[in-house]
DNA sequence: AATGAATGAGATTTCATTCAT
DNA sequence: GATGAATGAAATCTCATTCAT
C-alpha cells in the first residue's frame, strides 16, 4: 500500500490523491483500506515513517571507518546514492509532511534529526581524530548542510540532472564539503 | 490580497485554505475575489510570482563589485538576510508551488533559475578575475548550492534557529562556501 | 425547511432520513442546506426547538381564568387539541430527541419542563383557591400526568383513534383527571 | 446477546450501535452473530420481543383476585415495579420499535395490546362485580391510561426520580387512578 | 461451527465557482 | 462594480453483510 501511495503522492500530491485511488493502487477496496488506517492522514504518516525507516536503516548499515575522512566520504556517497535511488520518496517526504498533524510532524522531524545525527557523529569522530578542523559548534550545522545538499539532488532534479550525473555530482559536492570543513576560510 | 494569502498558505497550506478565507483576509467578498482571479490556483500563481518578483528585485538592486570576493560576500549576505526576512514567503513558495499547473510551474521554475543565474554571474565574474578557482562547469552547481543553503535557513528553522542566530549562520556558511570554491579539495 | 424535515422524520425517522432528502424537501440544494446548518443534528435541534416554541406559544396564549376548574378544563382542552393537531410533530419530538447531543437534549428537556410548569401553575392556583384537593407535593406529578395523557393521544393513535374520537377522548380524560385530583381516594 | 444489545441500544440507540459492537458485547464474532440473525433489524425485533415476553410473563403470573379493587391494586403495583426494574428495557422498547419493519412493528404492537388487555380484563371484572363505575366503553381507554402511567416512570425519570421515589409514585398514582374510575366526575 | 477480512453502497460534509441582484 | 446565496461535484469515512478458510 505504501509503495502505491508514494507513487500517487509523487504524481499528484497528497491532497489531490483520493482515498479511493490509494485503495485501488494498493489493490483492495476502500473498505479494506480503512481496516488498516483510521484517516487519510494515517497513510501520509505511514508513508513518511516507512521512508525514514528505510533511509535510516540503510545509512546505519554503513561500514564505519570511524574518524577518517575516508569513512566520511563513503557515508556521503552512500547517502547521495540513496537520495538518487529514492528521489520520489524524498520529494514526497519533504513536500507533504507539512500536512501531518502536530504530533506526527514532531515524530517525523525527530527522524530527520536522527538522520542529521548520523553525520554529526561521523563529523565528531573526524574532529576528535583531527581529520577535520570544524569547531565543536559547527558540527551540527555542517551535518545539516550535508543532509540538505543531498536532498538538493532530488528537489532540483529539474535544474541539475541534465547538466550533471549523479557520480559527478557526488564527486563535486564531496570535494566541496571537504574543503568547507578543512580549509582556512578562503583567506589564504 | 497576496500578503493575506501568503499568511494563510503559511498557516494552513494552499489546499486547506478556502477561497472564502482568502477573500475575507483580503477584505473583499468572494464575488470580488473572482473579479481578480479565474481559479484558486491563480492565487497561488500570483503569490509565487510576487514573491519571486520581490526577491529578484531586491537581489538585483545589489551594489555590484563585479569579480571580487567582497562583492560575492555582500551578495550572499543580502540573500540570506532576505531569506530570514521572508521566511514565510520562502516556505510557501517551495512547499506549495507543486500545486501549480505545468505551465505555471515552468514559469515559476524559470524565476528560480533567474535567481540562480544572479549568483552564477557573480561566480563567473570571480572566476574570470581569478578570485575563485571554480571550473567553468562547476559554477552552475555552486550557484544552486548557494541558493539552497539560503533556503535551508527557512526550511530548517525548527532545527537551526535555537542553536544559531542569523548573523552567525551567515558568517559560517559564507566561510564554508568560500573555502569550498577556493580550497584544494581537502587534499593538502 | 423545518416543516419538511418534520414530515420526513415522521415518515422515516431521523436516522433514515438523509440530508439530501431534507434539502430536496425544503426545495433547495444540499449545498444551500449547509448554509443554514452545520450538521444534520442541527436540523433535529431546530425541529424540536420550533415545535416546542409553537406548543408553548399556543399554550401561553390561553385566556387564563386563574384558580378555577373551568380554567383548568379549558387549558386541558386546548392542550389536547394541540396534540391532536400536531400529532406528527409530537411523535417526532419525543421519539427522536434522544439523538440530540447532551447540551441540546438538556435545552429541549427544559422546554418540556416549561410545558409541565404551565399546568403546575394552573393547578397551584386551583389549590390555593380550594378548587382542588391536591397536596402541594402532588401538584408537579399531576402536571406531568396531565402532559403525558395528552401525548398518549399521539403515541397511541394506532390503539385509540378507531375506538374513540378526540372530543370524546378529551371529555373522558378531563373527567378522569378532575376526579383524580378531587376525589377521596376511592375509599368512600 | 439480547441483554448486551439492550444495554447498547439504551446507551447509544439502535442506529448508533454497530453489529460489531453487538457481537462483541455478546461474546462472539460478527460471523457468528449472523448465524443467529439475518439483518441488524432482527436484533431489535428479538430485543423487543424478549422484553414483551418477560413483561407479559411476569404480569400473567399475578395472583388474581378477580373482580376486587385489591386485585387491581396488586396488579398496578406489580406492573409499576416491573417498569422500575426494567427501565432500560422499557425505554429501548418504546424509543426504538419505530425502526422495525411494518410487519414486525405490528407484531410488537399486538404484544403491547396484550399488555393492555391484561388490565382491561381486570377492569372488566371490577366493573362486573360493581367495584368500579367505569362504563363498558371507558374500560379500554382506562387500561391504556394505566399502562402509559407506568411507562411514564421510565420515560420521565429525568423529571421525576429526584422528586419522588417509586413506592410513593405507586401510591399516588394508584390513588389517582382509583379516584378516576370511581369518582363522580368532580361534580360533587 | 466459527471466524474476521473484505466489500462497496451510501451517508455527511466541504468548497470552488457562478450569477442574479 | 460588488455581493453573497446558491449550486452540486467530489471527498472522506462507516458499517451491514458476505464468504473463503
* DSSP class per residue in B134-173: --HHHHHHHHHHHHHHHHHHHHTHHHHTTT--HHHHHHHH
- At residue C183, the pLDDT reads 59
Using CA atoms, how far apart are residues B188 and B50, in angstroms rounded to an integer? 46
Q: Is pLDDT at C104 greater than 60 in this prediction?
A: yes
- Return the pLDDT at B137: 85
* Main-chain phi, psi angles of C29, to 5 degrees: -80, 165
pLDDT at B187: 41
Burial of B128 (0-12, 13-18, 19+ CB in 10 A): exposed
pLDDT, position B188: 37
Q: What's A133's DSSP letter? A: -
C39 CB neighbour count, 10 Å cutoff: 11
Residue C187 has pLDDT above 50, yes or no: no
Protein residue with the closest CA to the C1' atom of nucleotide F15? D18
| pLDDT tens by residue, D66-98 | 788 899 999 999 999 999 999 999 999 999 999
Which residue in the set A137, A145, A163 is minimally distant from B140, CB to CB? A163
Q: Going along D40-142, which residue ranges are E strands?
A: none
pLDDT at B183: 59
The angle at the Cα of D127, spanning C151 to C134, to the nearest 5 degrees, equals: 50
Distance CA A177, CA B150 (A): 16
Q: What pLDDT shows up at residue D24? A: 94
At A186 the pLDDT is 39
Interatomic CA–C1' length for residue D44 and nucleotide E8, angstroms? 25
Q: With an 8 Å Cβ cutoff, are C145 and D152 in contact?
A: yes
Average pLDDT over every residue of B34-41: 94
State residue D187's pLDDT score.
40
Query: Given pLDDT bands bounded at 50, 70 and 90, which one contains residue A100?
Result: very high
Task: Say how far apart CA D83 and CA D152 lie, in whole Å.
Answer: 9
Q: Stated in angstroms, how far is D67 CA from E19 C1'?
A: 78
Amino acid D136: pLDDT: 86
Which stretches of chain C are DSSP H helices?
A: 2-12, 19-26, 30-36, 40-60, 69-85, 87-96, 102-128, 138-155, 157-160, 166-182
| Predicted TM-score (pTM) above 0.85 | yes
Handedness of CA A18, A21, A26, A29 (dihedral sign): positive
Every domain of chain C with CATH number 1.10.10.60 lies at 1-38
pLDDT > 60? residue C184 = no
The alpha carbon of C38 is separated from its chain's Cα centroid by a whole number of angstroms, namely 27
In the three-class reduction of DSSP (H, G, I as helix; E, B as strand; rest coil), residue D15 is classed as: coil
Which nucleotides in chain E lie less than 7 Å from some protein C-beta?
A: 1-20
Between CA D30 and C1' E6 the distance (Å) reads 13
Mutation for C interface: D92, D107, D159, D187, most C CBs within 10 A: D159
Q: B42 to chain A nearest CA, in Å?
A: 17
> Which residue from C112, C97, C108 is spatially nearest to C148, judged by alpha carbons?
C112
C181: pLDDT strictly greater than 90: no
Q: Does C63 touch chain D (CB under 8 A)?
A: no
| pLDDT beyond 90 at B64 | no
Task: Give the pLDDT confidence score for residue D188 in this predicted structure.
Answer: 37
- Residue B34 distance to chain A (closest CA, Å): 22
Q: Which CATH class is domain D1-38?
A: mainly alpha
Footprint of strand F on the protein (CB under 7 A): A 17-20, 30-31, 34, 38-41; B 28-32, 34-35; C 28-32, 34-35; D 16-20, 30-31, 34, 38-41
Q: Which residues of chain D have pLDDT under 70?
A: 64, 183-188
Burial class (CB in 10 A: 0-12, 13-18, 19+), C102: exposed
Look at residue B81 and tell me whether its pLDDT is greater than 90.
yes
Answer yes or no: do C163 and D180 touch at CB < 8 A.
no
Q: How far does D48 lie from chain C, in Å, by closest CA? A: 16
Point out the residue nearest to E3 (C-alpha to C1'): D31
pLDDT band at C63 (very low <50, low <70, confident <90, very high): confident
pLDDT value at residue A121: 92
Fold annotation for B40-182:
Tetracycline Repressor; domain 2 (1.10.357)
Does residue B184 carry a pLDDT above 70?
no
Interacting residues of C11 by C-beta distance below 8 A, sequence separation 6+: C17
Write out the residue limits of the CATH 1.10.357.10 domain(s) in chain B. Answer: 40-182
Choose among D184, A13, A164, A116: nearest CA to B139: A164
Mean of the pLDDT values across residues B86-94?
A: 92
Interface test with D, best of C180, C182, C187, C188 (most D CBs within 10 A): C180
For C29, the grid coordinates are 440544494
pLDDT, tens only, A51-76: 999 999 999 888 767 788 899 999 99
Sign of CA dihedral D69, D75, D77, D80: negative
Q: Which of A134 and D174 is assigned the larger pLDDT?
A: D174
Exposure of A46 by Cβ count < 10 A (0-12 exposed, 13-18 middle, 19+ buried)? middle
State the Cα–Cα distance between residues A79 and A77, nearest whole angstrom: 5
Least confident stretch, A86-90, A129-133, B39-43: A129-133
Å between CA of B24 and C1' of F3: 13
Asked whether the predicted pLDDT for residue B34 surpasses 90, the reply is yes
| D63 at C interface, C-beta within 8 A | no
- At A183 the pLDDT is 58
Contact B109 A144 (CB under 8 A): no
* Average pLDDT of span B10-22: 93
Assign 3-state DSSP to chain C and report helix, strand, coil percentages, each to 5: 75, 0, 25
Q: With both helix axes pointing from N to C terminus, report the angle between D69-85 and D40-60 in degrees, rounded to the nearest 10.
A: 150
- Secondary structure letter of residue D16 according to DSSP: T
Nearest-angstrom CA–CA distance, C44 and C98: 10
CA distance B26 to chain A (A): 24
> CB distance from C141 to chain D under 8 Å?
yes
A 10 A CB-CB count for B107 gives 15
Q: Name the DSSP letter for residue B109.
A: H
CB contact under 8 A, D95 and C99: no
Predicted local distance difference test score (pLDDT) of residue D170: 96
Count CB-CB contacts under 10 A for residue D75: 21
Nearest-CA neighbor of C166 among A83, B13, C174? C174
User: Could you report the per-residue pLDDT of B109-167, keeping only the tens digit for each?
Assistant: 999 999 999 999 999 999 888 888 888 888 999 999 999 999 999 999 999 999 999 99
**Neighbour count for residue C82 (Cβ, 10 Å):** 17
Which residue, C146, C172, C17, is CA-closest to C83?
C146
> Looking at the partner chain, which of B141, B178, B183 has a beta carbon nearest the beta carbon of A172?
B141
pLDDT at B93 over 70: yes
pLDDT at C47 over 90: yes
Amino acid at each position: 500500500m505504501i509503495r502505491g501511495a508514494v507513487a500517487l503522492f509523487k504524481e499528484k500530491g497528497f491532497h489531490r490523491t483520493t482515498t479511493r485511488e490509494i485503495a485501488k493502487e494498493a489493490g483492495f477496496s476502500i473498505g479494506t483500506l480503512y481496516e488498516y488506517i483510521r484517516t487519510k492522514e494515517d497513510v501520509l504518516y505511514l508513508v513518511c515513517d516507512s521512508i525514514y525507516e528505510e533511509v535510516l536503516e540503510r545509512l546505519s548499515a554503513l561500514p564505519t571507518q570511524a574518524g577518517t575522512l575516508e569513512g566520511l566520504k563513503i557515508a556521503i556517497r552512500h547517502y547521495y546514492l540513496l537520495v538518487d535511488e529514492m528521489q520520489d520518496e524524498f520529494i514526497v517526504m519533504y513536500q507533504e509532511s507539512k500536512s501531518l498533524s502536530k504530533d506526527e510532524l514532531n515524530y517525523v522531524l525527530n527522524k530527520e534529526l536522527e538522520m542529521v545525527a548520523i553525520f554529526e557523529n561521523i563529523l565528531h569522530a573526524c574532529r576528535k581524530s583531527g581529520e577535520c578542523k570544524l569547531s565543536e559548534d559547527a558540527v551540527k550545522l555542517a551535518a545539516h548542510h550535508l543532509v540538505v545538499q543531498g536532498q538538493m539532488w532530488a528537489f532540483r532534479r529539474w535544474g541539475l540532472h541534465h547538466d550533471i550525473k549523479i557520480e559527478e555530482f557526488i564527486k563535486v559536492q564531496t570535494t566541496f564539503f571537504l574543503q568547507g570543513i578543512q580549509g582556512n576560510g578562503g583567506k589564504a
